[in-house]
């Protein structure tokens, strides 16, 4: 399939639920992983890969493709799910997450065949890569966009702000950072550990276009923000940031806004409960038709 496809809120909602089931399956099967941040990014990834990015799984190295760089590179349960559900990975591979011999490891390895533009691990590294990719695209006079998914926790890294300063200097209007702002990290609330707010004013001071999404789980609000990015890329010479307020663990009741689910896998009872909740959400949607 060639993307993007038209925005259909109901269909996208069903896709987010499927992604959440994949996230639970991957982490439960592995007995490890990062479900919380994967769940908070689900709507962002669903809208981006289905309705915004210009890409085609059958041509993963097409020079005209839009690029996605995963900066918060530990949320691979969500990343592998969206790659599977858009045709880059066989969904049957999801239970092999973090297993010996599987290419679905805890942090991604560059693998263009499977849609992975760059590997990742430690926070604070990949946004600089995104800036370099965007600059290279501009120097080749290509029109592709570069989208980078980061987090407020990653923005505690000093190297991030060096790259944030460089992006407008090089007039990278083909670059968009998305901040998955769930305010939780492995040790607690980000605002307690190292406050990064007010992010909108900080990015404005660094000469960025700023779009604030009040509810990062509202598919239409996320979609409208991405469409605004497309407009700004044509009318300004600045990069754009989307600051999306989200809830860590969203969509699974016992994980929602609980710091402990940053890097913890559900046991069998928790997995079954989560899958039942998600199946109930699907049934509710189908009954609304």
Instruction: For 148-165, write each residue's pLDDT tens digit.
Output: 999 999 999 999 999 999
Q: Is the peptide bond before 4 cis (omega within 30 degrees of 0)?
A: yes
Instruction: For 121-141, write each residue's pLDDT tens digit.
Output: 889 999 999 999 999 999 999
Q: SS in 3 state form for the chain?
A: CCECCCCCHHHHHHHHHHHHHHHHHHHHHHCCCCHHHHHHCHHHHHHHHHHHCCECCCCCCCCCCCEEEECCCCCHHHHHHHHHHCCCCCHHHHHHCCCCCCCCCCCCCCEHHHCECCCCCCCCCHHHHHHHHHHHHHHCCCCCCEEEEEECCHHHCHHHHHHHHHHHHCCCCCEEEEEEECCEECCEEHHHHCCCCCHHHHHHHCCCEEEEECCCCCHHHHHHHHHHHHHHHHHCCCCEEEEEECCCCCCCCCCCCCHHHCCCCCCHHHHHHHHHHHHHHHHHHHHCC
Instruction: For 105-118, write each residue's pLDDT tens digit.
Output: 999 999 999 999 99
Please say if the pLDDT value at position 287 is more than 90: no
What domains, with CATH codes, occur in the chain? 9-287 (3.40.50.970)
Q: What percent of the chain has pLDDT over 70?
A: 100
pLDDT of the residue at 288: 83
Please say if the pLDDT value at position 68 is more than 90: yes
Please say if the pLDDT value at position 70 is more than 90: yes
CB within 8 A of 54, min separation 6: which ones? 3, 4, 64, 65, 66, 144, 145
Instruction: For 42-58, write each residue's pLDDT tens digit.
Output: 999 999 999 999 999 99
Q: How confident is the model at residue 75 (pLDDT cuts 50, 70, 90)?
A: very high
| DSSP bridge pairs for 55 | 3
**How far is the C-alpha of 47 from the C-alpha of 16, rounded, in Å?**
9
Q: Which of 93, 6, 78 is nearest to 42 (CA)?
A: 78
Instruction: For 215-231, write each residue's pLDDT tens digit.
Output: 999 999 999 999 999 99
pLDDT of the residue at 122: 84
pLDDT: which is higher, 146 or 288 = 146
């Amino acid at each position: 399939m060639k993307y993007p496809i038209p925005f259909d809120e109901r269909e996208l909602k069903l896709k987010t639920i499927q992604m959440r089931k994949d996230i639970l399956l991957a982490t439960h099967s592995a007995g490890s992983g990062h479900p919380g941040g994967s769940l908070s990014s689900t709507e962002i990834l669903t809208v981006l890969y289905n309705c915004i990015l210009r890409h085609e799984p059958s041509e993963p190295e097409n020079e005209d493709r839009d690029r996605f760089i995963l900066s918060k590179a530990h949320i691979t349960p969500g990343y592998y799910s969206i790659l599977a559900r858009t045709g880059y990975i066989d969904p049957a591979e999801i239970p092999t997450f973090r297993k010996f011999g599987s290419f679905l490891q805890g942090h991604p390895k560059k693998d263009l065949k499977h849609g992975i533009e760059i590997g990742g691990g430690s926070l604070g590294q990949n946004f600089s890569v995104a800036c370099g990719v965007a600059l290279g695209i501009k120097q080749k006079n290509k029109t592709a966009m570069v989208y980078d998914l980061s987090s407020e926790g990653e923005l505690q890294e000093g190297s991030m702000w060096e790259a944030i300063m460089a992006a407008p200097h090089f007039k990278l209007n083909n670059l968009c950072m998305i901040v998955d702002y769930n305010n939780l990290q492995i040790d607690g609330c980000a605002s307690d550990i190292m406050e990064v707010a007010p992010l909108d004013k900080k990015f404005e001071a660094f000469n960025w276009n700023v779009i604030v999404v009040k509810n990062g789980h509202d598919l239409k609000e996320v979609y409208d923000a991405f469409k605004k990015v497309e407009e700004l890329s044509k009318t300004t010479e600045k990069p754009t940031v989307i600051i999306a307020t989200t809830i860590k663990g969203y969509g699974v009741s016992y994980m929602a806004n609980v710091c402990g689910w940053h890097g913890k896998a559900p046991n069998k009872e928790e997995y079954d409960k989560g899958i039942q909740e998600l199946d109930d959400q699907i049934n509710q949607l189908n009954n609304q038709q």
